[in-house]
Amino acid sequence: MVTQKLDQLPEKSVWDQMRTHFGGTPRPGGGGRAAVLPRLMVWLTLFVSVTYLAYALRLVSTSQHRCHEDHQFSTSRRLFNATSSDSADTPDWNQTVLRPHTEDSQQRTELKHIVFGIAASAKLWDKRKDYIKLWYKPKEMRGIVWLDSAVSSLPEEADSLPPVKISGDTSRFPYNNRKGHRSALRISRIVSETLRLGLSDVRWFVMGDDDTVFVTDNLVRVLRKYDHRQFYYIGSLSESHLQNIYFSYGMAYGGGGFAISYPLAKALSKIQDRCIHRYPGLYGSDDRIQACMAELGVPLTKELGFHQVRRRFCTMFMGTCSGSWRHTRSLRSSPSTTSTWCSPSSRTSHGWRPSGGSPCP
């Protein structure tokens, strides 16, 4: 018989014929391997679960132990503070240890830590030196007057004026601002030249003009707010809106004075000559200082007490007693101000030229 019904064939023969038809060959032991795979997955899952559980238990126990130690340390510290503090009746355990910069009585900034650099010219020295006598006390302060050329001085003035020095030559620096004057180059280098004198125990260099009046008690109080070991460039804007627009709202105006911390003065002295070469078109010394500060990445710290304003009031040593204050708050609360006794007919870069005549209109 050539044909036979499929259901009449033995079961094994049917299976073998089907596998042969689809190209398969019988593989002995295949059922054993299929049984091993589920057992392997079960053991792997069990191993991962046990490992995770052990890690979690260890993490929890370590955290509890650390919290217990911190609690013991906090308790011990509170007990120590409670027994060692005689001044506080009820100690504040939550008092923070982070506070603004303050100086204790032994390290606080004093007048002896400040050196003044005063910009002056030989042409106006005979008149402007009287302004310096108003506030400078040689026995209590340190300062240098920087002139463009030598001047004659009276022996008795040594007790009322700072030492006088001649600024270095600036002819090698380019200057091409048609509205300005080359004297801005030497004035911008006064802080660096004062630094190179090698004075000891200096924390701050304070720059001003020969007609700037410093109220030193206020100045010291302001500088105590800042850490002299950091980079600080402290001053204020002009009180003329047009000046601020023309020059900058981020620049300290030299007429009102500004302060530079000692580390910043050292950094400035290293780059200033190259910096000046890069900005020949700037007008004055103030914006040259600001340009170099920008290269150092130091912004202006604004202190409104540094004033550059116009005033009218009488001066006893000039022989006139007419005029009145335009701003009465400055000498009581400000570290500096540009004092300008004036005559309407003669104007300078910082206001009105001193005169023995009538006050400003």
Read off the amino acid at residue 17: Q
- DSSP secondary structure string, 238-265? -S-HHHHHHS-SS---GGG-EEEEHHHH
Q: Residue 64's pLDDT band (boundaries 50, 70, 90)?
A: low
238 located within any domain: yes
Is residue 240 in a domain?
yes
Q: What long-range pairs does 151-155 form, CB within 8 A, spacing at least 24?
A: 151/122, 151/125, 151/126
* Count of the separate structural domains present in the chain: 1
Are 207 and 292 within 8 A, CB to CB? no
pLDDT band, very low/low/confident/very high, at 11 (cuts 50, 70, 90)? low
Better-scored residue on pLDDT, 345 or 115: 115
pLDDT in tens, 158-186: 889 999 999 999 999 999 999 999 999 99
Rounded CA-CA distance 59/81 in Å is 33
Is the pLDDT at 75 greater than 60? The verdict is: no
| pLDDT tens per residue, range 232-284 | 999 988 777 777 777 877 788 888 899 999 999 999 999 999 999 999 999 99
Confidence grade of residue 314 (pLDDT, cut at 50, 70, 90): very low
pLDDT attached to residue 348: 33
Nearest to 239 by CA among 328, 327, 145: 327
Q: Please give the residue that has the higher pLDDT: either 79 or 262.
A: 262
Mean pLDDT, all residues of the chain: 73
Closest listed residue to residue 360, CA positions, set 342, 340, 347: 342
216 in any annotated domain: yes
Task: Please check whether residue 43 lies inside any domain of the structure.
Answer: no
What is the rounded distance in angstroms from the CA atom of residue 239 to the CA atom of residue 302? 13
Domain that holds residue 339: 111-352
User: What Å distances lie between residue 171 and 186, 247, 277, 282, CA to CA?
Assistant: 9, 25, 11, 16
Where is average pLDDT lowest: 126-135, 139-148, 308-317, 324-333? 324-333
Percent of the chain with pLDDT over 90: 45
pLDDT tens digits, 124-168: 999 999 999 999 999 999 999 999 999 988 888 888 999 999 999
pLDDT at 9: 47
Q: What is the dihedral of CA 224, 226, 229, 232, to 10 degrees?
A: -130
How confident is the model at residue 22, as a pLDDT?
A: 46
Q: Which two tokens stand for residue 348?
A: 């300078």
Average pLDDT over residues 220-235: 96
DSSP code string of 29-64: THHHHHHHHHHHHHHHHHHHHHHHHHHHHHHHHHHH
Q: Is the pLDDT of residue 78 over 50?
A: no
**What is the distance of C-alpha 136 from the center of its chain?**
29
What letters, b where the CB count within 10 A reaches 16 and e where it falls short, cover 206-229?
Answer: bbbbbbbbbbbebbbebbeebebe
- In three-state form (DSSP H/G/I as H, E/B as E, the rest C), the secondary structure along 135-204 is HCCCCCCEEEEEECCCCCCCHHHHHCCCCEEECCCCCCCCCCCCCCCCHHHHHHCHHHHHHCCCCCCCCE
Is the distance from CB of 292 to CB of 321 less than 8 angstroms?
Answer: no
State the pLDDT at residue 98: 31
CA distance 286 to 232: 16
pLDDT at 54: 84
Residue 246 within a domain: yes
> Residue 6 carries which DSSP code?
G
pLDDT of 58? 78
Instruction: State the pLDDT at residue 319.
Output: 31
Q: Is the residue at 52 inside a domain?
A: no
**pLDDT at 95 > cutoff 50:** no
- What is the arithmetic mean of pLDDT over 35-46? 82
Residue 204 in domain: yes
Task: Note the pLDDT of residue 13.
Answer: 56
The encoded tokens of residue 203 equal 């924390």
State the pLDDT at residue 169. Answer: 95
Distances in Å between the alpha carbon of 29 and those of 12, 32, 36, 157, 303?
Answer: 17, 6, 12, 118, 92
- Asked if the model's pLDDT at residue 304 lies above 70, the reply is yes
Q: What is the mean pLDDT of residues 337-344?
A: 38
CATH number at residue 168: 3.90.550
* Stretch 226-235: mean pLDDT: 96
Determine, yes or no, domain membership for 18.
Answer: no
For position 17, what pLDDT does the model report?
54
